Structure 1
């Protein structure tokens, strides 16, 4: 829905169904309930997640036409998509495979271009459209040698330049501005705001501008501007909160370099301060382990008294470090409902969301706002609620937070 602060939606990666028909069936059953609760009189946007399989199905003209007709009948529209998970995202062990195939591969490039072909047909005229994607790949898959790390980044960056060239062509043909939104996260090749900015300014722009000037006859300045239009940051609030990053500082650095935020993904992690008392600390450790489940990665970032952050690839790996003398706080990657701040012994990083919403209220940093809580099905049972009601409650909470700023 269009608010004073941007288009607000939720990401359909909360729904299962890897084929398009299965996903569409769930969407048809759920979306009308959400719209009635959140935006009964005005159009409501959809943040569409398509697997590779579903994207192949939906590119068929008859399937796409049927979906567009359904959107019209529901007073709905698509302006953003999630192109991060390529394959199955529910019911299977995902873990680090969420990054595969990564940006080294032809499969990732082809999948992403297919998504943009679909988005070009769906996004309303006069509106920009974005697709979020993996932060190049999984960091620990390229840690063997410095040359392997360098080669991976070079290949991945070149393929993202290829996407930019494709999107420049779309804009010239259709007048629509579409952008690829890179999503840093713990253990990604790009983990943090500063890492993303350094990659953008020191690798993407030099390589991309050189390529676009040769291929498209642009000046260097025109090529740099085009890259900044078509390659943006997906700012997942959960991921930046996990790294104890200053949202204000990241936003200021992005502005200084002229880099755009494609969308805010509104999401919350779990956290807790670690008391000195060992029995109290054990209880908190057990509360964290209640969120350990086999589907997704739940990285832990442990803040130390000296300000350093120790990183663990998953909750079980962090368990043995619970009693580290220098550890003062744990944060773990588990998207919990954004309207919950108090989780008993644990808290959520909801305060980070509120800070980002205040920034958006004051500075209008993007046009796209997407609630992304995809873990309802693996939440501890006492936190599970009916899906449509839960999504509606999240969207209404965001709207309320904007109103009380």
Structure 2
């Protein structure tokens, strides 16, 4: 949903779909029909914003298969839904019976976290509404606080450097800026 700030800028309001379980593209598409579109209709809005949570297998599929990405884009448009943010914090298995500390893996000391976040940014750049120049991806803090070593610190720093380079390259390629926000969590490093 779009709101107008008193300074004239557009403010996007969205709710995050990580409250709904979906570990594959079919599940994500079902969320749009079961929750997204009905909420938009109930609000009487022409468009509604969703912050999509896309599990790692979904992001991998969308990044590798243009037809899958086009299908998602088509479903979003059909249902009056726009996406300006993705939640890349839970990697996968977020609705498993026991999540606890597992939700913090892979962390920023591990290459899969970097790859997943950059893949989310690339997918988001394709899903942004045509008039949106920027979007955001949320992610976990660096890691659970223990064990934390100088080596893990170095790995996290290197991955953040690569993230910065990857986001700059994405902006140069697409003309769209994707920002990454780190969600502070109790017991974690940021």
TM-score with structure 2 setting the length: 0.90
Q: Kindly state the Cα deviation for residue 105 of structure 1 after the two structures are TM-superposed.
A: 0.8
- 1:23 corresponds to: 28
- Whole-Å separation in 2 of the counterparts to 1:75 and 1:166: 30
**DSSP-derived class of the 2:184 partner:** coil
Q: Kindly state the Cα deviation for residue 33 of structure 1 after the two structures are TM-superposed.
A: 1.0
- Whole-Å separation in 1 of the counterparts to 2:166 and 2:24: 26
**DSSP-derived class of the 1:140 partner:** coil
- 1:134 corresponds to: 140
Aligned-residue CA RMSD (Å): 1.4
- Whole-Å separation in 1 of the counterparts to 2:15 and 2:176: 22
| 1:180 lines up with 2:180 in the alignment | yes
Which structure 2 residues correspond to residues 5-404 of structure 1 after superposition, within 5 A? 5=5, 6-38=11-43, 40-59=44-63, 60-124=65-129, 125-142=131-148, 148=149, 150-190=150-190
- Whole-Å separation in 1 of the counterparts to 2:22 and 2:153: 32
**DSSP-derived class of the 2:143 partner:** coil
> Where do 5+ consecutive residues of structure 1 fail to align?
143-147, 191-405
Q: Deviations over 1:175-209 (max 9, x none)?
A: 1111111111101112xxxxxxxxxxxxxxxxxxx
CA contact (8 A) 2:2 2:12 kept: yes
Over alpha carbons, which structure has the higher Rg?
Answer: 1
- Whole-Å separation in 1 of the counterparts to 2:147 and 2:30: 36
CA contact (8 A) 2:140 2:184 kept: yes
**DSSP-derived class of the 2:160 partner:** helix
Q: Kindly state the Cα deviation for residue 73 of structure 1 after the two structures are TM-superposed.
A: 1.1
Q: Kindly state the Cα deviation for residue 117 of structure 1 after the two structures are TM-superposed.
A: 1.3
Q: How many residues align?
A: 183
- Whole-Å separation in 2 of the counterparts to 1:7 and 1:22: 24
Q: Kindly state the Cα deviation for residue 21 of structure 1 after the two structures are TM-superposed.
A: 1.4
Q: Kindly state the Cα deviation for residue 141 of structure 1 after the two structures are TM-superposed.
A: 3.3
- 1:376 corresponds to: none
CA contact (8 A) 1:79 1:127 kept: no
